[in-house]
Amino acid sequence: MAASDVPMSPELEQVDGEIQDIFRALHNGFQKIDKMKDSNRQSKQLEELTGKMRECKRLIKEFDRVLKDEEKRNTSEVNKQLNDKKQFMIKELNSYVTMRKTYQSSLGNKRIELFDAGNDQVAEDNVQMASEMSNQQLIDSGMKQMDQTDQAIERSKMVVAQTVEVGAQTATTLTQQTDQMKRIGNELDSVHFSLKKASQMVKEIGRQVATDKCIMGFLFLIVCGVIAIIVVKV
């Protein structure tokens, strides 16, 4: 279905043009794989095409989002044509996904995964577009997402509060350790001063003992002299 068959807004035309460019690149890319003989080059080419498929899937979702925004401004016939075009693009992407799986199986390449959950189909039952959902489904989906968002916000708040608490505790601990280091430094200075004072006192006592020994020797000599004089007189 060509872009000129359906009236589209400039934004939709831009997205559709990007999707069609990717489809052409996928078509040419798979033709190149057929001409390649080296399995390594084929695997590399397949990886590049897988990346284009991911981008195409994203653009189809963007196409659906814009379509939903413009739905009220379009006629029912135009909306039907645009939805048909979207379904055609999904089917075309699925055909390339199937082709990729065939090449991947033949190459034995297990490294390429298009979807995180391992599902290679972009079918409507797996990727339910907003335009295909009823009003109640949209409300339920929106409420569910809001609840999940609120829960995520509460978890984030708890993490932030815990982080602040841990930071405060860490700051208090650092302050206490800093004060303790200061006290230890002061105590070391006091011990050093006490050791120096004790060393001076030991030296002083040593000098006093030496002086006392000299006096005692001198007195002993005097006593000996007196005794000697007495003996001579006798």
CB 141 within 8 A of CB 133: yes
- Residue 125 DSSP one-character state: T
Structure tokens at 96: 């390339």
Which residues lie below 8 Å from residue 17, measured CB to CB, with a gap of 6+? 3
Q: Is residue 158 domain-resident? A: no
Q: Is residue 25 domain-resident? A: yes
For residue 122, with 0-12 CB atoms within 10 Å meaning exposed, 13-18 middle and 19 or more buried, which class applies?
buried
- Give the C-alpha separation, 192 to 124, whole Å: 84
Q: Tens digits of per-residue pLDDT, 95-115?
A: 999 999 888 888 764 444 444
pLDDT band at 21 (very low <50, low <70, confident <90, very high): very high
Q: Is residue 81 domain-resident? A: yes
Average pLDDT of the residues in 30-47:
88
Q: Tens digits of per-residue pLDDT, 63-87?
A: 999 999 988 888 999 999 999 999 9
Q: Is residue 152 domain-resident? A: no
Please give the sequence-ordered ranges of beta strands (E in DSSP) within the chain, or none if there are none. none
Task: Supply the pLDDT for residue 15.
Answer: 93
- Could you tell me which of 41, 56, 33 has the C-alpha nearest to residue 114? 56
**Where in the sequence is the domain holding 84, given as residue range(s)?**
7-114
Of 9-18, 22-31, 89-98, 132-141, minimum mean pLDDT range? 132-141
Average pLDDT of the residues in 214-221:
84
- Residue 127 DSSP one-character state: S
CB 65 within 8 A of CB 130: yes
Q: Is residue 44 domain-resident? A: yes
Q: Is residue 26 domain-resident? A: yes
Taking only Cα atoms into account, the Rg of the chain, rounded to an integer number of angstroms, comes to 47
Amino acid at 229: I
Q: Tens digits of per-residue pLDDT, 192-210?
A: 887 888 778 878 877 887 7
Task: Supply the pLDDT for residue 40.
Answer: 87
Q: What is the 3-state secondary structure (H, E, C) of 84-120?
A: HHHHHHHHHHHHHHHHHHHHHHHHCCCCCCCCCCCCC
Helix extents (H) in the chain: 10-35, 39-70, 76-107, 135-233
Task: Indicate whether 142 pLDDT > 70.
Answer: no
**What's the number of domains the chain is made of?**
1
Q: Is residue 159 domain-resident? A: no
Q: Is residue 168 domain-resident? A: no
- Give the C-alpha separation, 55 to 20, whole Å: 12
- In sign, the C-alpha dihedral spanning 19, 23, 28, 32 is positive
CB 36 within 8 A of CB 49: no
Q: Tens digits of per-residue pLDDT, 144-182?
A: 777 776 787 788 678 878 878 887 888 888 888 888 888
- Domain of 90: which CATH number? 1.20.58
Residues of the chain with pLDDT > 70, as a percent, come to 82
Which residues lie below 8 Å from residue 119, measured CB to CB, with a gap of 6+? 126
